[in-house]
Amino acid sequence: MSINANRKRILLASDSGQYGGMEMRMIAEAKQLADQGHDVSVAAPPFPGHDSFARELAGIDVAFTPFVPQPIFTNWRKRHVAWLLAELFQRRRFGRFGAELAHVFFSWTDQGLDSLWLAARCGIPTVLSIHNTFPQAEFSPWHRRQLRRAFATVRGLYGVSAGAVDAFLGIFGDFVPRGAHSATLYNFVDTDRFISSESRRRATRETLGIGSDVPLIGSVGRLDDQKKPLDLIEVFARVREQLPNARLLLVGEGPLERQVRERIGALDCGDAVTLLKFQEKIEEIYPALDVHLLLSRNEGFGIVTAEALACGVLTVATRVPGTEEVVTGCPAGRLVSLGDKEQAAAALVDFLSLAPDERRCLGDLGREHVEARFSKEVWRRDVSRFYDIVLGELEISCASA
């Protein structure tokens, strides 16, 4: 059944707190649904960068409404007041969006539940998307009653990795209605933007003052504990024991920046490490690398690993949900155990010791891997299939009611 024949008013909602990967996925999905003929709108709290988010949506004729759901699940002390305000006032406001289907985006364990509760209380069929691998959580008996209400209208859910789906169901599986459609829809990589490019390699290295033959390891990601940047510095120091001329490029910002600089100094490798702030044109950076390194303790989907592979760059990453699914089966990637610095250093040295032609051949295979599994065309196909199933079942349910 084609969803083109069944135009729906679809609301994309979240309890977002930043303009990041999940928000970019919301824009892409809004455009996909609008292109298929649906009337799409977005509701989310104001956040740093939400003006840019709203402009991107306006560019595809999708309205953005700042909307802050009452913190029924996210503020324990005010939960009863939040519940009362939501029941008396906010439920009516949420209903005025006129949605026939709501899609609630989950960025963390409880960040999405408040919007989901509102959709359910308005009787709106919902689908969920899970954008990280959440840790286990405990809920009070009061909250469990609210969760049963919140999940009552869920018709389907997907995660950006199988690990994300498994983690979500491990927490909320008892509340998800039996028969709700479940799927894995990986994030996509823009393979027209992220390419292997000798000219980009030369230009970026020239800008950074790094010679064309210098072994260069890179890591793109926030400098926070999830990404383990302090471990990354230690791994690089071990690599330098075998490859003294190796360099490291860190691209990102975050709360651990001061500690990262201190660790670089303590390990006496400041002359070999370059730190860059967030880069909008990150596609210019990847091709300059010989190997990309990601030591995250968890990922919803290892997007930077996939982007690096699309640029023909070899990758070393931790064997954790999300990232593991990106690298498995790819000869250009190597998975290492979380916390095993020796193993990570050895994998980097192995890749850096290859002849340039060998690295290029492996890099070509890495790009082919991304094109086959994580291209935008594959993503569009899978998103369409997901909505076909959910909306088809919704039509059958309405017809039999």
Contacts 24+ apart (CB under 8 A), 58-61: 60/27, 60/30, 60/31, 60/34, 61/34
Question: What would the two tokens of residue 199 be?
Answer: 């000219």
Same domain, yes or no: 322 and 367: yes
pLDDT of residue 3: 42
| 354 shares its domain with 212 | yes
Helices (H), 132-197: 141-150, 162-172
Q: How many CB atoms lie within 10 A of CB 268?
A: 10
- For 308-353, the pLDDT digits (tens) are 999 999 999 999 988 999 999 999 999 999 999 999 999 999 999 9
Mean pLDDT of 243-258: 95
Q: Band of the pLDDT at 136, cuts 50, 70, 90?
A: confident
Same domain, 174 and 234: no
* Residue 96 within a domain: yes
User: Are 61 and 172 members of one domain?
Assistant: yes
Burial class (CB in 10 A: 0-12, 13-18, 19+), 186: buried
- Confidence at residue 397, expressed as pLDDT on a 0 to 100 scale: 66
Query: In this model, does residue 218 exceed pLDDT 50?
Result: yes
The answer on 217 and 170 residing in a single domain is no
Are 247 and 231 found together in one domain? Answer: yes
104 and 47, same domain (yes or no): yes
Indicate if 141 and 203 belong to the same structural domain: no
Higher pLDDT, 298 or 127: 127
In sequence order, the β-bridge partners of residue 104 are 13, 128
pLDDT at 298: 85
Q: Which amino acid is at 75?
A: N
> In 188-287, at which residue ranges do the beta strands (DSSP E only) sit?
216-220, 247-251, 273-276
Same domain, 16 and 150: yes
Q: Which residue has the higher pLDDT, 94 or 396?
A: 94
Radius of gyration, CA atoms only, the chain? 23
Q: Do 249 and 110 fall into the same domain?
A: no
CATH number of the domain that 70 lies in?
3.40.50.2000
- Given pLDDT bands bounded at 50, 70 and 90, which one contains residue 21? confident
Do the domain assignments include residue 49? yes
The chain-wide mean pLDDT, for the chain, equals 93
Q: Is residue 193 part of a domain?
A: no
pLDDT reading at 240 higher than 80: yes
139 and 208 share one domain? no
Across 65-73, average pLDDT = 95
Percentage of the chain surpassing pLDDT 70?
A: 97
How many folded domains does the chain comprise? 2
What does 262-320 look like in DSSP terms, one character per residue? HHHHHTT-GGGEEEE---TTGGGTGGG-SEEEE--S--SS-HHHHHHHHTT-EEEEE--
Query: 172 and 23, same structural domain?
Result: yes
In this structure, what are the phi and psi dihedrals at residue 77, rounded to the nearest 5 degrees? -65, -30
Which residue range forms the structural domain that includes residue 117?
A: 3-188+376-400
Residue 114 pLDDT > 70: yes
Whether 17 is covered by a domain: the verdict is: yes
Q: Rounded to the nearest 5°, which phi and psi values hold at 50?
A: -70, -20
